[in-house]
Structure 1
Amino acid sequence: PEPTMKLQDRYAVDFIVETLMGEESGTITLCALGPLTNIALALIREPRIAPRIKEIVLMGGGFFEGGNVTPTAEFNIYVDPQAADVVFKSGIPIVMMPLDVTHKALTTAKRTQTFRALGTKVGTATAEMLEFFERFDEEKYGTDGGPLHDPCVIAYLLKPDLFKGRNCNVSVETASELTMGMTVIDWWGVTKRPKNAMVMRDIDHDGFFALLVERLGRL
């Protein structure tokens, strides 16, 4: 369907700053599904927004799974590692959904059929989109189905007990030619760097897809 909202005239960074400064402190969570450029620019433009943000829940990075653009870097971080560095150093509470967790949320053929079985326009459209994109991921990763990355962010906000992880220090490589954009996660606590993110590693994948089916079934 055609979008119901017109293209906005406002600059995204201005919108972020004005919204956070205009609302009560600690009431807004930022959900980042792509590169962190706009959030970093907002923090640089108006540092006072940092303590006003309740938390940032983001999809990005990887550690045990490596990267999906380079051997060590995931796309959202790789395309603007400097922005990611600003965000992870901001002191804002961060929940990170890396490839380590999203690669466990696989759209198997059975799960895709469950969406189609809803018998609705939304269910059919979802199944068709998944069948289209998962062909490339199946070939790349050799799995039954492809990973669902971005929905993990919203699923966490709706039902956080679907995920398990630990507080770690996450540093972003911004200088290396070999590992540019790598999220260096101190999973085992071998450094004295302060913990700055809750890094998720495990997901109740059956519960995750049950939540997706239930919510999409309402539309």
Structure 2
Amino acid sequence: MTEQIIIDTDPGVDDAVAIWLALAAPELEVLGITTVAGNVSLSDVCRNAGSIIAKSGRQDVAIYAGSHGPLTGTQRFGKYAHIGSFASLLKDEGSVAVSAEHAVQFIVRKAQEAARQQRPITLCALGPLTNIALALNFSPEVAKGIKRIVMMGGAFSAMGHRTPWAEFNFYADPNAAARVFRSGIPLVIMPLDMTFQALLTEAHLEVLAHDAGEPGRAIQHLFTTFDRNDPGRFLRDGGPVHDATVIAWLLEPELFQGCEVTVGIATTGETAGYCWADFYHKLKQQANATVMRHIDEQGFHSLLQRVLAVYGSKGEK
């Protein structure tokens, strides 16, 4: 039986890789794509999502526009927010229109249906957690329909990349993250500490461009345009593809190593968005999340190449 997922996202370059990976995997049934402002504004996020889905050839997957900003406070955007939509970089072959239903309403509806059918769904959170927090606030029944939330977010030993102390997704809406951490739903967290261990190099991008059809060529173009190399930090060439680890974990969890811990977040003050984990069990509290600490880099790249190659195969038929 396929695993039913909703992808909540703010595309975003690595979000694009994650979406193409999920749509290519027969093990996953993508019920819908919900969008949230984050990397760029909500309107640009929706345009990007529409172009990503169109390039995959999966126009059957609907997009639902969500939150324009955080639960409270000032909207914070990603590093490349000034660029806006990257649809033109994808050599746009059309776009999927946004549905009339709001993203939060869609998540609530699908979770409640899943609870009634006793087939809980997985939420894949690739951006700020605003939509998910709002959905959980709607009714206690929503949580009953969610099997788990697998999210990209947080930074521990790696510290931050948007600020010195915080990873962007949690920094953009720390109050939403705090609400999700209190939900009691099983959480799986992909922090920067782990995502920095799997870097896409020019050689990897060449393989994807050759084997993975239009999405593969688009990945190469996007990663070249939005250069993620940081040898001073990573001590080698290549850039991370953070959000794709969420989908990779669903497909091959054996590539990852993690531990169950208590996770919390600072919601006020100068370090708002800072996420902490009680790795050494100092608090004597029950764990609320499984944090991934290590990834098999070679296995991860093999998975990307194998699954995304389906787009190359389709193009040859």
Normalised TM-score (structure 1)? 0.93
**Contact kept in structure 1, 2:151 and 2:188, CA below 8 Å:** yes
Q: CA deviation at 1:140?
A: 6.8
Match of 2:276 among 174, 184, 196: 184
Q: Which residue number in structure 2 is paired with residue 121 of structure 1?
A: 214
Write out the 4+ residue segments of structure 1 that deviate beyond 3 Å after TM superposition.
139-143
Higher relative contact order (CA 8 A, sep 6+): 1
The 5-angstrom pairing of residues 1-219 of structure 1 reads 1-3=93-95, 5-23=96-114, 24-118=117-211, 120-133=213-226, 135-138=227-230, 141=233, 143-177=236-270, 179-219=271-311
**Contact kept in structure 1, 2:166 and 2:273, CA below 8 Å:** yes
The verdict on how the C-alpha distance between 1:128 and 1:169 changes in structure 2, with shifts beyond 3 A counting, is same
The verdict on how the C-alpha distance between 1:175 and 1:207 changes in structure 2, with shifts beyond 3 A counting, is same
**Contact kept in structure 1, 2:120 and 2:144, CA below 8 Å:** no
1:113-143 Cα deviation digits (max 9, x unpaired): 221232733322222222222x244367354
Distance in 2 (alpha carbons) for counterparts of 1:120 and 1:38: 32
Letter in 2 for 1:115: L
Gaps of 5+ in 2: 1-92, 312-317
Gaps of 5+ in 1: none
Letter in 1 for 2:111: L
Q: CA deviation at 1:62?
A: 0.9
Distance in 2 (alpha carbons) for counterparts of 1:187 and 1:119: 39
Q: SS of the counterpart of 1:213? A: helix
Q: SS of the counterpart of 1:218? A: helix
**Contact kept in structure 1, 2:155 and 2:191, CA below 8 Å:** yes
Distance in 2 (alpha carbons) for counterparts of 1:141 and 1:46: 43
**Contact kept in structure 1, 2:231 and 2:237, CA below 8 Å:** no
Q: SS of the counterpart of 1:216? A: helix
**Contact kept in structure 2, 1:57 and 1:94, CA below 8 Å:** yes
1:51-88 Cα deviation digits (max 9, x unpaired): 32100000011101001111111100001000000000
Normalised TM-score (structure 2)? 0.65
Distance in 2 (alpha carbons) for counterparts of 1:87 and 1:140: 34
